[in-house]
Every structure is written in C-alpha cells, then in structure tokens.
Chain A
Amino acid sequence: MTASTALTPPVVVGGSAEPAAETHRAPATWVRELEDLAPSAPAPRKRVVGTATATDRFIVTGSLLAAASLAWVVCFRLLPWAAVPGYVVTAFVLFLAIVTVATTVTSDGPMIADRLASAVVTGGAALVGVALVSTVVYTFVRGAPALPHLTMFISDMAGVGPRDPLTRGGVAHAIVGSLIQISIAVAVTVPLGFGTAVFMTEVGGGLARIVRTVVEAMTALPSIVAGLFIYTVLIVGLGVPRSGLAAAAALSVMMLPIIARAADVVLRVIPSGLREASLALGASRWRTVWHVVLPTARPGLATALILGVARGIGETSPVLLTSGAASFFVINPVDGVMNSLPLFIYTTVRSGEPLYIERGFAAATILLGLVLVLFVVARRVARPRTGR
C-alpha cells in the first residue's frame, strides 16, 4: 500500500491550445499560456485514501481460505481435535501465521504488525459478537417448542407434574409475580432514588457529600448480600413470611443505589446556565428544579429508570432468598410465597426434568424479550428529539 499507490503524474497533452494569432490582433494585455508549467501541475484527481488495495484483499481472502482448509486437515485428519471450538481456534491461529508470511512478501515490519493487529482485534470483536448472538438465539431456539402454546401465557403451574405435556400449565404466575415485584420496587426506588439525586445535585452541602459517598459505595453491594440482608432482617428477624413484598424489598435495596447514582450522573450534566437563567428570572429553587432541571433531564432519568428496571427484573439472587416459589397465581404481595420469572427459570432448570427445562427456557425467552423491549424503549427515550 505504501509504495504502489504513489502517484505518477499523468502526461498532459499540451498541443491542444495552439494560439490562432495570425487571424486576430494580439491584445494589449494577455495571459501567457502555461504550456511549460503544465506537466508539473497534474489535473486534480480524487485520490483514494486508506482503503485496501486489490493485493491486500487478495492476501486476506487467500489467507482465510488457506487457513480454513489447513485447519480442517489439522483438526479432522492429523490430530484428535475434532471439535468446532478447536477448529475455529486452530483456523484463526493459522490465519494469523499465513497472513504474516504473505504480508512479508509485499510489505515491511510496521505493515505486518498492522495487519496482525487488525486481524486480532477484529477476531476478538467477532468472537464477542458470536457469543452474544449465540446467547440470544440459543435461548429463543430452546424456548421455541413451549412458546406456541397459549396456556404458557395464561395459566399457572398448579397441579402440573413433571411429565405433563407442554399444553398444560404455564408461566403466567411468574410473569405476574415479576411485574408485581418490580412495580413495588419501582414505586419505592423512584421517589427515593430521584429525590436523593435531586438532593445531592440541587441542595448540596455536607450531608449531600456523605450521602453521595455512601450511595456510591453501596453500588458495590453484591445482590446476594442485599437478599441476605432482607432475609435476615425481615424474614428471620421480624417474622414476615416469604412473600412478594419481601422480594420487592430486596430488589429495592439492590436497585436504590444504582438508580440514585445513575440519576445523579444525569442531573450533574445539566448545564448550570439553565438553572441560573431560571433563578435570574425570579423563579424559586423549587420551581427551577420542577420546571427546568427535571424536564431537561427527563430522557436521561427515564433511561436510568428503565435500565434499572431491566437490571432488577432479571436479578435472581435477591428473590431466591426472599420470595419462595409458588406454583400458582399470587396477586397479593403480602400473602405468602410468590414466583417470578428468574426464580421460575432457576428452579425449573435445576430440576433436571426435560419438560421443566423446556418450560424454563420458555420463561427465559419471555424474560429476555421483556429486557429487550425495555432496552429498546430506553434507547428510544434517550435519543435526542429531532426536528426541533
């Protein structure tokens, strides 16, 4: 790429501009023809910068093919490594080697390093992409057999045994339980979390600094410890039975620092000029916060909330300790054990019964779908409005 793309100035044909001086009288002033300078000033031509040349593409494609074939020989014919991951790894390592050798023919040291580095970086990113896509696709594929049954969405698991077909029983009770628990948790954490963020940014003072330090520290609290805290205090200490309320409390304890901190970050980047303009116009601090700061921060706050909800709805360890697992509809959050989607997945997958595992995957698909929807909504909300 370095030497081969150096431009050779095109030969400009200079004979076309012959002056017809015989027929016209020469003007008093005239522009001298630039025939002698023409070769050094080539016609402007758009140069191609930074893209791969045909040679580069050939080297990469050829190396890929060579590596794929050689890896097949190595893995499936020579050595006992006949497995897909082994094949992929071998092929990638061979690809790096072949690319190095092939590049050595045309280019020098830095070029080889560049080629190798981009192969490694792209390969790593591709591996991550494959892992993510495989997670989502695998969940959907394993959940597919159970999902088409309508009962999955409208009935519970009461009286459904491990051998009962998928046409009986469903996960509706877990969906309802999850929604109830997360609603309670949101109802608790939003006023407290957003209120704390407003306190930390808009009121300030010594207490605010302490609160900020403690809240930031508590974001490090592992979710299982949050669950154990509620278990010890509410269930063992105060004798509250395992219930949706206890699970919601555990979720709230886990989500509160996360939401407060995220909202704090959002409020802190509101331009202070807006606040000052509002105060200078005579608005009180309260009106400034309510009519200027919070509306400006609304998209950011909504994103913080939605991502917090997505985190909370998928968290298993707090509800594992606090909610118990009912196999039937429970609407009242203080009335005994209640199921939720993550807990349902956890218990069915661990049961080892094939049909239960299928139900578990169906629940996982629903959970993943919920999280995906929340995520897309968060993206939509966070995007700055256009056309204003």
Chain B
Amino acid sequence: MTVLHTEAPPSLAPEPRTLSTATVGADRAFVLGARAIGASVLAITGGIGVFLAIQAVPTLRRYGWSFFTETQWQPEADVLGIASVLVGTVTVALVALAVAFPLALATALYISEYAPLRLKSAFVSMVDLMAAVPSIIYGIWGFFLLQPHASGIARWLSTYLGWLPFFKVDTDPTAALWEQSRFTASAFVAGLAVAMMVLPMSSAVMREVFSQAPLGEKEAALALGSTRWGMIRAVVLPFGKGGIIGGTMLGLGRALGETIAVVLIISPSFDLKFRPLELGTNTVSALIAGRFGEATDAQLSALLTAGLVLFIATLIVNTLAALVVARSRSGAGTDL
C-alpha cells in the first residue's frame, strides 16, 4: 500500500533569503583603500587646478583685462601681458597643424588603405615610435638639421608669396647678400619641429578611425567599379570625418603646450605680429621656461596665470576633440 500524503510538504514555499551586499573583511579594506587612492589622486590633480586658479587671482586683480591685451612682459616697469605670447603660441601651433594635418592624413590613409599587408604593422609601430621620441630630440633635430633648410624654404615663400601678409618678412628682397638670419629662429621653424610631435598623435587617431570603416561598404564601392581613391572618398573619408577632426584637435592641444623644442629654436621677442617666417616669436611655455628663474613672487603668480590660460586653452581643445572622436565612433553606418 502506498500512502498518499495529501498535505503540502512543510516548507517549500519560497522564503526570501537574506542577501547582504555589504562588504566585509578584505573586501571592505579593498574598497576603502581604492577609494582612498582615488580621493588622494583627485586631491593631487584637482589641487593643481585649484592652486593655479588661486594663484591667478592677485595677477588678474592687479592687471585686469590689460593682462590679456598688453604685449610687453616687463616686470621691472610693472607692465605685464600675454597678448604677444598668446599670438605667438597660436602662430606656432597653426604652423605645426598646417604641416602636420596633411601629412598625418596621408600617413593614416597610406597605412590603412595603401600599405602592403605585410608591412602594415611595421608602419604602425613606426608611427608609435615617432610619438615616443622625446621632444628634446626633435628640438635639436630642428635646430641643427632642419633650420638651415627651413630658412631656405622660408626665403622662397617670402620671395614668391611675400604679397600675402603672413608670408612677409621685413628684409630687403633685392639685397645682394641673403640675410639668412632674418629667416631663422622663427615661428615657422619651431612649428616644423612641433609638427613632428603633433603628427604621430593625429595620425594614430585618424588611422584608428579609418580602420573601423565598414568593410562591407568598402567592398561594395570597389565591386561597383570604383577606383581605390573613389572608395576612399565615398566610404573611408566620410566615415572617418570625426577622427580626422578629433585627431587634428588633439594634435593642436599638444602643439599649444610644447616647450623645449620651441625654446631651443626661437629667439624670444614680444612684438605683436603674425609673421611666422620672420625671426623672433614667443610662446606661453617658452615665456615660463625663460622667466621663471629671476621671478619674484608677484611675477611667479603672473607666470602661473599665463600657465593657467595655456592649460584652459589646451583643456578646451582636448575636450572638444574627445567629444568629436567619441561621436564618430558611435557606430553609425557600421550595420550591414
């Protein structure tokens, strides 16, 4: 005989278990430790920004807007301003971009579309290596190797294109003896050296985005009879637009803050001018490197203010670049 138990088994009804998400023991130590490290790094890095901002207050209160409009930096005469160094910084950065942008684009396109498959990774390594070369090396390269040639290029530009205001150089073009020194130590030469540092950075970003261009659309373009350049123009470049803009702006951020190569090459001057080919310019970072030594407390505050302006400019450029690059990678157009 089997006995049928008709009543329900005693406690099969689901009874919520008590789950604790509270961390205990080693976990608690881990979380607290990680949080402490994070907080301390926040304090260090954020502290720099706050410190710069606080240090800028006395300078800005003393000089007001004239700090941004005054061109001279003469602490002994109590005349301070960063107008000319800002213009110089932008000039050097623009020269660097004008050289680096087409070359970075060409390099990225070459590596992603033209290079033989076997050599591709070697070329990628070379571009990465280029980014790892210290800036002082580019500085001495620019100073000793590039400058003599670059002054020749500058002379050519000013001779034949001197009617353009930014290619003008204040020298006698018909002089029997070429005044080479007028064409050296200029924003142009410094910009060329900085371009070497900007280029690998922009190129790497561009290549990364190009390599994500949808393969199906590339093959479709080729299958429809397009040439390689037609395929690049129809698929790769539109897809990589964000990468091109973002990579260039990241490069601009690097170019704004570059110091040593610029200091080695330029001869400092405080004229407010936009003539990159001509002798003499100055940048914010070169100003700091040149003037920190003899600075009193007040001047140090002024230098820190200049540094803060540079930092904010770089920060804005980098943030915009990151936004543009992030949007370009949103995956639009990758579905097949």
Query: Which residues of A are interface residues toward B (Cβ below 8 A)?
Result: 81, 83-86, 110-111, 113-114, 116-118, 120-125, 127-129, 131-132, 134-136, 138-139, 142, 191-193, 195-196, 198-200, 202-203, 207-208, 210-211, 214-226, 228-229, 231-233, 236, 253, 256-257, 260, 284-287, 289, 307, 310-311, 313-317, 320-321, 342, 345-346, 349-350, 360-361, 364, 367-368, 371-372, 374-375, 379
With the chains together, A285 CA to B152 CA distance in Å?
Answer: 64
Let me know if B132 and A371 touch, CB within 8 A. yes
Q: B215 at interface (Cβ–Cβ under 8 A)?
A: no
- Which has the most chain A C-beta neighbours within 10 Å: B25, B110, B285? B110
B256 interface residue (CB < 8 Å to A) = yes
Q: Is B57 an interface residue (CB 8 A)?
A: no
A195 and B259 contact, CB distance less than 8 A: no
Known: A260-B41, A315-B135, A345-B136. A222 touches B257 (CB 8 A): yes
Cα-based distance from A284 to B111 in the complex (angstroms): 45
Question: What residues of A have a CB within 8 angstroms of the CB of B310 in the complex?
Answer: 222, 225
Interface hits, B111-153 → A, CB 8 Å: 111, 113-115, 123, 125-126, 128-130, 132-138, 140-141, 143-145, 149, 152-153
B130 touches A211 (CB 8 A): no
B48 touches A368 (CB 8 A): no
Q: Give Cα A120–Cα B56 distance, bound, in whole angstroms.
A: 48
Specify which chain B residues have a CB less than 8 angstroms from the CB of A128 in the assembled complex. 103, 106-107, 130, 199, 203
Question: In the complex, given contacts A215-B42, A222-B258, what are 7 additional A-B residue pairs having Cβ atoms less than 8 angstroms apart?
Answer: A114-B227, A135-B133, A220-B311, A222-B307, A224-B285, A228-B288, A314-B137
Given the known interface contacts A128-B103, A315-B135, the answer about A284 and B25 at a Cβ–Cβ threshold of 8 Å is yes
**B125–A113 touching, CB < 8 Å:** no
Determine the main DSSP class of B at the interface with A. helix
| A220-B315, A224-B259 given; A232·B26 CB < 8 A | no
Instruction: Give the docked Cα–Cα distance between A134 and B153 (Å).
Output: 18
Task: List, sorted by A's number, 24 A–B pairs whose CB atoms are closer than 8 Å.
Answer: A110-B227, A116-B229, A124-B102, A124-B105, A128-B103, A135-B138, A135-B141, A195-B37, A199-B34, A203-B31, A215-B41, A215-B42, A221-B314, A225-B52, A225-B288, A225-B310, A228-B292, A229-B48, A229-B52, A229-B304, A231-B292, A236-B297, A314-B133, A346-B264
CA–CA, A225 to B125, complex, Å?
30
Q: Which of A86, A199, A214, A360 contacts B45 (CB 8 A)?
A: A214
Q: CB distance B37 to A224 under 8 Å?
A: no
CB distance from B199 to the nearest CB of A (A): 6
Contact assessment for B44 and A256 in the assembled complex, using a CB-CB cutoff below 8 Å: yes
- Given contacts A203-B31, A368-B134, A368-B137, is CB(A195)–CB(B38) below 8 Å? yes
Q: Determine whether the beta carbon of B134 is less than 8 Å from that of A316.
A: yes
Instruction: Please list the 3 inter-chain residue pairs (A to B) with the smallest Cβ-Cβ separation, ordered nearest first.
Output: A314-B134, A124-B106, A222-B257
Q: Mark B245-274, 1 if CB is under 8 A from A, else 0.
A: 000000001001111100010000000000
From A135, A220, A229, contact of B137 by CB (8 A): A135
Question: Digit string of B194-235 for contact with A (CB within 8 Å is 1, else 0)?
Answer: 001001000100000000000000000000001111101000
Q: Tell me whether A199 and B38 are in contact (CB under 8 A).
A: yes
Cα–Cα, bound, A185→B331 (Å): 39
Q: Which of B29, B128, B292 contacts A321 (CB 8 A)?
A: B292
Q: Is B39 an interface residue (CB 8 A)?
A: yes
Residues of B within 8 A of A315 (CB): 134-135
Q: Is the CB of A285 within 8 A of B133?
A: no
Q: Which residues of A contact B324 (CB under 8 A)?
A: none
Return the contact of A217 from the options B44, B105, B315 (Cβ within 8 A). B315
Contact surface of B with A, Cβ cutoff 8 Å: 23, 25-27, 29-31, 33-35, 37-42, 44-46, 48-49, 51-52, 55, 102-103, 105-107, 109-111, 113-115, 123, 125-126, 128-130, 132-138, 140-141, 143-145, 149, 152-153, 156, 196, 199, 203, 226-230, 232, 253, 256-260, 264, 285, 288-289, 292, 297, 300, 303-304, 307-308, 310-311, 314-315, 317-319, 322
CB distance from A345 to the nearest CB of B (A): 5
Q: How far is the CA of A368 from the CA of B130 in the complex (A)?
A: 11
Q: Mostly helix, strand, loop or mixed at chain A's interface?
A: helix
Q: State A113–B229 Cα separation when bound (angstroms).
A: 7
A233-B315 Cα distance, complex, nearest whole Å:
22
B304 contacts A232, C-beta separation under 8 Å: yes
Assess whether B314 is in contact with A286, with CB atoms less than 8 Å apart. no
Task: Indicate the member of B48, B232, B285 with the most A CB atoms within 10 Å.
Answer: B48
Chain B residue at smallest Cβ distance from A374: B132
Task: Flag if B31 contacts A285 (CB, 8 Å).
Answer: yes
Complex CA–CA separation, A364 to B332 (angstroms) = 46
A314 to B102, CA, bound (A): 27
Are the CB atoms of A364 and B140 closer together than 8 Å? Answer: yes
Bound-state CA distance A29–B33 (Å) is 86
A231 partner residues in chain B, CB cutoff 8 A = 292
For B292, the chain A residues whose CB sits under 8 A away are 228, 231, 321
Central interface residue in B29, B140, B289, B310, by most chain A CB within 10 Å: B140
Q: Find chain A residues with CB under 8 A from B199 CB.
A: 128
Q: Do A220 and B314 have beta carbons less than 8 Å apart?
A: yes
- Contact of A345 with B140 in the complex, beta carbons under 8 Å: yes
Residues in chain B near residue A192, CB distance under 8 A: 37, 40-41, 44
In the complex, what residue of chain B is closest to A357 when comparing beta carbons? B144
Whether the pair A121, B106 counts as a contact (CB closer than 8 A) is yes
B288 contact set on A, CB distance < 8 A = 224-225, 228
Complexed CA–CA distance, A214 and B113 (Å)? 37
Q: In the complex, what distance in Å separates the CA atom of A371 from the CA atom of B133? A: 7
Minimal Cβ-Cβ distance residue in B for A49? B222
Distance, CA A199 to CA B138, complexed state (A): 37
A160 CA / B273 CA spacing, docked (Å): 43
Q: Tell me whether A225 and B149 are in contact in the complex, defined as CB-CB below 8 angstroms, given that A86-B156, A138-B141, A317-B289 are known contacts.
A: no
A residues in contact with B137, CB < 8 Å: 135, 139, 314, 364, 367-368
- Asked if residues A284 and B27 are in contact (CB atoms below 8 Å), the reply is yes
